[in-house]
Every structure is written in C-alpha cells, then in structure tokens.
Amino acid sequence: MSILTDVNTPGAAPSHREPPISEEAGALNSGHSQTATQVILPIEEIHKLLPHRYPFSLVDRIIEYVPGERAVGIKNVTFNEPHFQGHFPGRPIMPGVLIVEAMAQVGGVVLTQMADVQEGLFMFAGIDKVRFRRPVVPGDQLVMTVELLWVKKRRFGKMQGRAEVDGQLAAEGELMFSLVD
C-alpha cells in the first residue's frame, strides 16, 4: 500500500489509499478528477515507476501530481554527487544535461501513470528550446515542473519542463519522448 499525503487541506493527515494500478506501479493515478492534487511521493515509490538508480536517479520526491497533465518534483543537490568532482574543481556546477535529465525523470512519472500506455521504456526523442538561466550548485533545491503538451498514439509525447531554485528560473525547455519496446 502506498501512502499519499494530501497537502491541499491545512492540517491534513496522511491518507492511506490502495493503489489502483498495482502494488508495483505506485499510487499516482488514483482516479481523482483532473484538479491539482498535491501528493508526496517518496524516492521508494519513484523507484517503482522509473528504472533510474544511483548515480542517475535525479528526482528525490514528487510533491504535486495531476494525472495525465503534470508533475512537480524536487532534487536536493549535494556536494557528494560524483559529477561535482570534475564539473568544476573549485567551482561545482550541476551539468545542464543532468538538469534536463532530472526534468525528464519528473516527466517520466507522468508518462508511466497514463492509462492505456503499452509496456516499454520511455526515452528521449528530442530536446528543443532548452535554455539555462542560472547555475545550480550544491546546497540548492531544484524544483522541476513538467507539463504534458501532447501525446500521439500513446507512443510519442512532448512536455514543457521548467526548473527553478529559490523561485528563480534555472532551466526550461521542451522534451520529446518515445516509447520503445
């Protein structure tokens, strides 16, 4: 059983809900209407949905989810991450490609929970209009909002991603996905 915490209601206590898809898939698609539902989905549940593992698991928590529309995830950036050893010595900066990958992983949560999606793995099919606005450094908390723009034949999709630190835009762009068998 998964634990979802509804934080729309002040003082709301964690609510326990049976996952509608399976014990393995997690409980994001809980049959709610398409209204904003803030949930807390911890790393253990994210790992049930996505294949990524250390050092490439780049989403620590999902804090908001609207089925079939969008998700908001966080990544706590720490100095212990292996890429900081060489990017750059004396001035650690999170590589832009990893910021884009983190946004894609938040998007993956949306895609894996869509109804009628075939078995397989969603992979990048393209990246457009990506811009980096500020460096992301150890100690930052990256807040990523990814919205589904469209899906074709339940095999291809396009999303708009936005990553912020302390309310400041760090990166944004369009991410295309394709389902591979």
What count of Cα atoms within 13 Å lies in the side-chain half-sphere of residue 139? 3
The catalytic residues are: 87
User: Could you list the residue range(s) of the whole structural domain that residue 18 is in?
Assistant: 2-180
* Distance between CA atoms of residues 137 and 32, nearest Å: 37
Mean pLDDT value of segment 175-179:
94
Q: How many domains does the chain have?
A: 1
Tell me what pLDDT residue 120 has: 80
Residue pLDDT, tens place only, 82-100:
999 999 999 999 999 999 9
Q: Comparing 80 with 116, which gets the higher pLDDT?
A: 80
Nearest 5 degrees, angle CA 99-CA 106-CA 159?
90
Mean pLDDT value of segment 60-88:
95
Mean pLDDT value of segment 146-153:
93
Residue pLDDT, tens place only, 118-149:
778 889 999 999 999 999 999 999 999 999 99
In the predicted model, what is the mean pLDDT of the chain? 82
Q: How far is CA 109 from CA 12, 129, 166, 170, in A?
A: 24, 22, 23, 21
Q: Is the Cα dihedral 42, 45, 47, 51 positive or negative?
A: negative
CB-CB contact of 37 with 70 (8 Å):
no
Mean pLDDT value of segment 164-171:
98
Instruction: Kindly report the backbone phi and psi dihedral angles of residue 150, in degrees, each rounded to the nearest multiple of 5, phi listed first.
Output: -165, 160
CATH code of residue 29:
3.10.129.10
Q: Any residues with CB less than 8 A from the CB of 89 and at least 6 apart, and which?
A: none
Q: How far is CA 74 from CA 79, 99, 154, in A?
A: 16, 11, 26
Tell me what pLDDT residue 35 has: 57
Q: Comparing 69 with 3, which gets the higher pLDDT?
A: 69
Tell whether the model's pLDDT for residue 78 goes beyond 80.
yes
* Distance between CA atoms of residues 100 and 27, nearest Å: 25
